Amino acid sequence: MSVPWTDAAAEAIARLVSSRTGFTYALQHPAKTEEGIRRAMEIRGSSSMPAYLRTLQDEPKAMDQLVDELTIRETYFFREPRHFDFIREHIVPETRRQHGEEHVFRAWSAGCASGEEAYSLAILVDQAGVGDRASVLGTDISHAALDTARAGRFRDWSLRGAGSGFLARYFRARGPAWELIDPIRRRVRFSFLNLALDSYPSHVSGTFGMDLILCRNVLIYFDAWTVEQVTKRLAASLAPGGWLVTASSDPTPGRNAGLVPHVTEHGVFYQRPVETMVAEVPEVVRPAPIQRATVKPMRPVTPRSDPVEPPDTPEARYERARKALRQGDYEQVLELVPDLGGNTDACRLRIDALANQRGPDAAVAAASQALRLHPLSTTLHFRHAVLLSSLGHLDASEEALRRVIYLDRGLAVAHFALGAIHWRLRRLDAARRSYRTAARLSADVPPESELPLADGQTAGALAAAAQRHLASLGGQEEAIPA
């Protein structure tokens, strides 16, 4: 039997934390949670729990500090080595076979704590000889953990799974710590992401089209409903054929996630079926063409050369490029649209193919170049914003979104994306305003109508997503003006 709360304000604080972060563990473990609350209060010099509760409601920084005290951030390099064996022996080679040599392997450590898991992935792809065609994203809800991760310095305890050869190759001794070498650090991008919120998959945070997601020792802190929601969103963030790896002690992903479990000698791993069509995947903001729609085996559907009807007009070529993009044949898109000399749609096709084939840096460079030729294109500014954000350039992304909104104030999806940027920069009032505008604009049109720039996203789905964000920000009580 669990120990009861000694203070009603402590329970109210645990409820607030749980509703904002999905960390229902706080509610289930009163004694540990109260200890954490008291530690966090001490850091702030606060002696009254009711007063501290009010502070938490108003100050995001105070909530961050408390989350840092309450979350368990135990992690180390190559934890559960058999998972990494499976990734090395099966997932990486299979992905290369499906998508080809040029494919950029996209991996995400969701709930990465101080970064050891994300860096283990970066080392693994280096060892597998595909390091220069791989990107790793590490996200967590703890800002303190993310700061440690970005610093890339670790003590022996974090490296207890590592052999001496591994140490010598990837680390430099720095006093009592070990510092990761630059090429490995550069491969990993860390950013804040609250898994309990409906903010992914999304191009704004780069959480789309993943070949591999590790979400280990995180789901264990959520209740069954939250596990269901989180695993559904993680599944939707995978490319068709992509893999979700959870820890052996984690709850199993919800059935609605649509993942296929594979029982192997290395453990149980979950795969998104290859044939899942992107259109079936719910997503908050999904400019779909950047996301892989399917894998190479579909290629025969669009032969490179058509002996009956040669692609003689630009429009015919763009139509074929659109098809190829939907089928994930990015090389063919790049062949059909070899430069940025065409119209804005052609530029978008090339930029989306570059994002998937060469990575976001190449795509951002192309978007900047295209914007010099088409400075009034909301499509291109929006793509630019999304790519900048996926690289962590939040200020630049915000500027690009503001341009989109300046050019067309009625684009709900742009307001929604701006809301996500504000949220990531901890500007909660501004985030509320943007989500409110997104909800109002999407409520102005029939719910089943597709929104501009959202590539298939319906007005109803965007309005609902904006409302969910507002609710999690404590803004749901404000009625949306008609």
- Give yes or no for residue 69 binding ligand SAM (CB under 6 A): no
- Give yes or no for residue 117 binding ligand SAM (CB under 6 A): yes
Task: Please identify which residue in 71, 202, 390, 442 interacts with ligand SAM, judged by CB under 6 A.
Answer: 71
Q: Which residues contact 291 (CB under 8 A, 6 or more apart)?
A: 201, 208, 209, 239, 278
Task: Please identify which residue in 87, 124, 196, 212 interacts with ligand SAM, judged by CB under 6 A.
Answer: 196
Size of the site for ligand SAM (CB under 6 A): 25
- What is the helix (H) or strand (E) element at residue 263, kind and residue range? strand 260-264
Question: What is d(CA 423, CA 301) in angstroms, rounded to the nearest whole number?
Answer: 42
Task: Please identify which residue in 140, 198, 329, 455 interacts with ligand SAM, judged by CB under 6 A.
Answer: 140
Question: What is d(CA 266, CA 246) in angstroms, rounded to the nearest whole number?
Answer: 12
Identify which of residues 30 and 111 has a Cβ nearer to ligand SAM in the complex. 111
- 391, 362 contact by CB (below 8 A): no
* Token pair in block for residue 426: 């901890």
- Give yes or no for residue 301 binding ligand SAM (CB under 6 A): no
- Give yes or no for residue 218 binding ligand SAM (CB under 6 A): yes
Question: What is d(CA 185, CA 42) in angstroms, rounded to the nearest whole number?
Answer: 34
The window from 89-97, 122-130, 216-224, 448-456 that contacts ligand SAM (CB under 6 A) reads 216-224
- 166, 119 contact by CB (below 8 A): no
Task: Please identify which residue in 49, 56, 134, 195 interacts with ligand SAM, judged by CB under 6 A.
Answer: 195
Q: How far is the CB of 135 from ligand SAM (least distance, A)?
A: 18
- Give yes or no for residue 202 binding ligand SAM (CB under 6 A): no
Question: What is d(CA 260, CA 256) in angstroms, rounded to the nearest whole number?
Answer: 11
Identify which of residues 193 and 470 has a Cβ nearer to ligand SAM in the complex. 193
Residue-level length of the chain: 482
CA atoms within 13 A on the CB side of 130: 25
Identify which of residues 83 and 103 has a Cβ nearer to ligand SAM in the complex. 83
Question: What is d(CA 399, CA 386) in angstroms, rounded to the nearest whole number?
Answer: 11
- Give yes or no for residue 232 binding ligand SAM (CB under 6 A): no
Task: Please identify which residue in 95, 142, 332, 390 interacts with ligand SAM, judged by CB under 6 A.
Answer: 142
Q: Give CA separation, 17 vs 63, 149, 385, 433, 446, in Å.
A: 8, 23, 31, 22, 35
Task: Please identify which residue in 42, 58, 74, 306 interacts with ligand SAM, judged by CB under 6 A.
Answer: 74
The window from 46-54, 188-196, 255-263, 338-346 that contacts ligand SAM (CB under 6 A) reads 188-196
- Give yes or no for residue 72 binding ligand SAM (CB under 6 A): yes
Burial class (CB in 10 A: 0-12, 13-18, 19+), 45: exposed
Question: What is d(CA 269, CA 246) in angstroms, rounded to the nearest whole number?
Answer: 7
Task: Please identify which residue in 95, 217, 294, 357 interacts with ligand SAM, judged by CB under 6 A.
Answer: 217
The window from 30-38, 72-80, 340-348, 474-482 that contacts ligand SAM (CB under 6 A) reads 72-80
Question: What is d(CA 51, CA 40) in angstroms, rounded to the nearest whole number?
Answer: 13
- 172, 178 contact by CB (below 8 A): yes
Identify which of residues 22 and 289 has a Cβ nearer to ligand SAM in the complex. 22
Identify which of residues 184 and 401 has a Cβ nearer to ligand SAM in the complex. 184
Task: Please identify which residue in 73, 262, 299, 427 interacts with ligand SAM, judged by CB under 6 A.
Answer: 73
DSSP E strands in 85-167: the ranges are: 105-110, 134-140, 153-154
* Token pair in block for residue 226: 């939250």
Q: Which residues contact 260 (CB under 8 A, 6 or more apart)?
A: 270, 271, 272, 273
Task: Please identify which residue in 37, 145, 219, 235 interacts with ligand SAM, judged by CB under 6 A.
Answer: 145
The window from 96-104, 128-136, 213-221, 456-464 that contacts ligand SAM (CB under 6 A) reads 213-221
Q: How far is the CB of 230 from ligand SAM (least distance, A)?
A: 8
Identify which of residues 216 and 381 has a Cβ nearer to ligand SAM in the complex. 216
- Give yes or no for residue 36 binding ligand SAM (CB under 6 A): no
CA R_g for the chain: 23
* Axis-axis angle for helices 314-326, 344-357 (nearest 10): 30
Q: How far is the CB of 114 from ligand SAM (least distance, A)?
A: 7
Question: What is d(CA 213, CA 89) in angstroms, rounded to the nearest whole number?
Answer: 16
- What is the helix (H) or strand (E) element at residue 189, kind and residue range? strand 188-192
Annotate each residue in 14-33 with x if it binds ligand SAM (CB under 6 A) or - if it does not, as one string: -------xxx----------
Identify which of residues 69 and 455 has a Cβ nearer to ligand SAM in the complex. 69
- Give yes or no for residue 249 binding ligand SAM (CB under 6 A): no
* Site of interaction with ligand SAM (CB under 6 A): 21-23, 71-75, 79, 111-113, 117, 140-142, 145, 194-196, 216-218, 221, 247
